[in-house]
Chains A and B, each alone.
Chain A
Amino acid sequence: MLRAEIDGLNIELEEKTSILDAAKKANINIPTLCYEDGLSIYGGCRLCVVEIEGEDLLKPACATKIEAGMKIKTHSKKVRDLRKNLFELIIATHNIDCQLNCLTCSRASNCELKDIAEDIGLSKMRLDPIKRGDSIDNSSYSIVREPEKCISCNRCIRKCEEVQGIGIFTTANRGPETVVTTFKDRGMGNVECTNCGQCILSCPTGALHELYQKDSVLDILNDESKHVVVQTAPAVRVAISESFSNQAGDISTGQLVTALKRLGFDAVFDTNFAADLTIMEEGTELINRIKSGDRLPLFTSCSPGWIKFIEHFYPEHLDNLSTAKSPQQMFGAVAKSYYAKEAGIAPDDIIVVSVMPCTAKKFESKREEMAGDVDYVLTTRELASIIKSAGIDFLNLEESEYDDLLGVSSGAADIFGTTGGVMEAALRTASELITGEELEKIEFENVRGLEGIKKTEVVIGDLKLRAAVANGLGNARKVMEMIKDGEEFDFIEFMACPGGCMGGGGQPISSDKNVLEKRQQAIYEIDNNKKMRKSHKNPYIKKLYDDYLEKPGSEIAHKLLHTKYKARKI
């Protein structure tokens, strides 16, 4: 038992944690900026410094281990005064001037600098902002970087390197020239960035945000000559209410649909429908590859961050990828062919807008292999912003249903939003297609959970399917190295974002430590409450094949629903 004193309180700890964690246990919040759970300790911002009795210099709470007998003061006058002075130095690098910078910033409502200023009681600012004259990085289709707002907290660097295993950012130069940047300032779109957007989730300021398409979507909604349809990803409905309520894990499907109808979309459909479609195509592909033994293991292909990752780093394995497009892209292709026919609208007049938890989907929509499928991609955050600007009181809306034709889906589609979901959805269908029998239990618990890599063997009739699930690109890389070392698999689900799509780079930025668990719980709850829980039981999917696509893997299915990949240099 370790005994110490923090702010006059006697505390007892079982293990030697950091002073920061020990303080939390005693319900004392020490302000931090460069510290982030899950990333290595940087110890650079120095906001978390505390006074330790017997020492003149202050020590960082995040990096200092608590010792027996330590007497710590986290908010003495010496510390509080220092934090305020230090914060003036930090703010001076953030280049706020009175050009309405704060008000027009992407983080106007959840900027960590604002929160800290309030927490420490900042009352004066004696320094002029430093204008470095760095221009905005617009080189990427998915993410925009505003260096003038960057305070060099280094979180994006660590997130990209340590969690995603890529490392496109670095600290360059030293002294007053120290900056966070990409390789030789080339810009995110010109290096091996996968567009996953995890850096946006780590950034405390508005220095990183998605490439906005809000205005384009609002403009197109006003264009009477166009028939604008919208699709919503599975992970959006368990997260979008956070932008209004700050409460994680609420299901708001019905309100989401109502809001979209009110915004004026001509049809409100569901990406989930296309997820069921993806299972049909990919499930068939899996069965064929297992029969032939060719190109195994099969890799899922619905995560565009993962796709760009493998194109850059493991191009020799592109053949393992499923040729099936992602649900977003399949939806677009079907909307502009099948739906156009059914609704009697010229395909050229149809505009497809998708709402995604994902920033990489913006890049995916612009891939030349799939040009024209999807016209605009909004992140969950962007949609929330549009809803607010339309004066819609989201939380109090009555619920509505998706439009039928491309809007009905199974529970298997809903679980696409979490890591392990695509695998489980595929197994539900593949099992029944292979054995010809109904599953007794449709939940596959072995592939559930937030662990980075899950490996399991699934018995389907005579077949022993060696499956793996990886979420987060750092884990994807580990699995690829396992394969290179000779480990054998049959089917692997890869998601670029930790937690899968529900943790995507386009989701509301949450301060709730358990946000992923809560969103995941909501997703499985939706699945549990649905009567129809298997993709191949979806009557509208059956109708789509009967009326238009013939069967999975048909020539027309190949033309509309499958794609190619390309090797990219690093």
Chain B
Amino acid sequence: MEKIKSLFYQDSLLEKLHEIQSTYGYIPETEIDNLSEKYQLSRANVYGVISFYSMFYTEPTGKYIIRICDSISCHLNESDSVLKAVKSYLDLKSHQTTEDKKFTLEVVECLGHCGEGPVMMVNNKIFTKINKNRALEILNDCM
């Protein structure tokens, strides 16, 4: 009897997408072609998966992805004043990237630090208990 290898041993598509995202800052079309081939999915299907998840992009993003939480707990602690300051400073709306490709801004939902809000993420790093001054300081520190 032919032993079929469990699908457990197949590389998870989500993990592959994470790797590509952190290598290129987005998912290039050539990589989508490769994934389409590897997983025997149509390109449209792979695109549907990528576009579902907020952390994957199909177009290049800024060097620093700034995520600021505006869910209820942070909102009650005035995250919107942090947001206003950052939006004004970077001249960006959510999902937009600065022209010099340095920053991409995302207004996100709960990041899981609700007792220490407001919360801001710069790429993988979390900053808690921030106010608008601290937020701008952090942005300035980004080289």
Contacts and interface: CB of A to CB of B under 8 A. Distances in A.
Nearest to B43: A183
Interface in A168-216: 168-174, 182-184, 191-192
8 contacts: A161-B45, A166-B42, A170-B42, A172-B52, A184-B29, A184-B58, A191-B44, A192-B42
Top-8 shortest CB links A-B: A170-B48, A167-B42, A170-B44, A172-B51, A183-B44, A183-B43, A173-B51, A183-B47
A218 to B, nearest CB: 36
Given A183-B47, A184-B47, A184-B58, A173 B52 contact: yes
A570 B40 CA distance: 13
Contacts of B41: 167
Nearest to B33: A570
A170 B58 CA distance: 15
A167 B29 CA distance: 17
Interface residues of A, number: 16
Contacts of B36: 570
Interface of B: 29, 33, 36, 41-45, 47-48, 51-52, 58
Interface of A: 161, 166-174, 182-184, 191-192, 570
Given A161-B42, A161-B45, A170-B45, 12 more contacts: A167-B41, A169-B44, A172-B47, A172-B52, A173-B51, A173-B52, A174-B52, A183-B44, A184-B47, A184-B58, A570-B33, A570-B43
A468 to B, nearest CB: 23
Nearest to B59: A184
B52 A167 contact: no
Contacts of B51: 172-173
Nearest to A569: B33
Nearest to B41: A167
A167 B58 contact: no
Nearest to B48: A170
A130 to B, nearest CB: 19
B56 to A, nearest CB: 11
A270 to B, nearest CB: 38
Contacts of A166: 42
A167 B43 CA distance: 8
A458 B51 CA distance: 51
A172 B48 contact: yes
B58 A171 contact: no
A171 B49 CA distance: 9
Nearest to B58: A184
A283 to B, nearest CB: 37
A331 B25 CA distance: 54
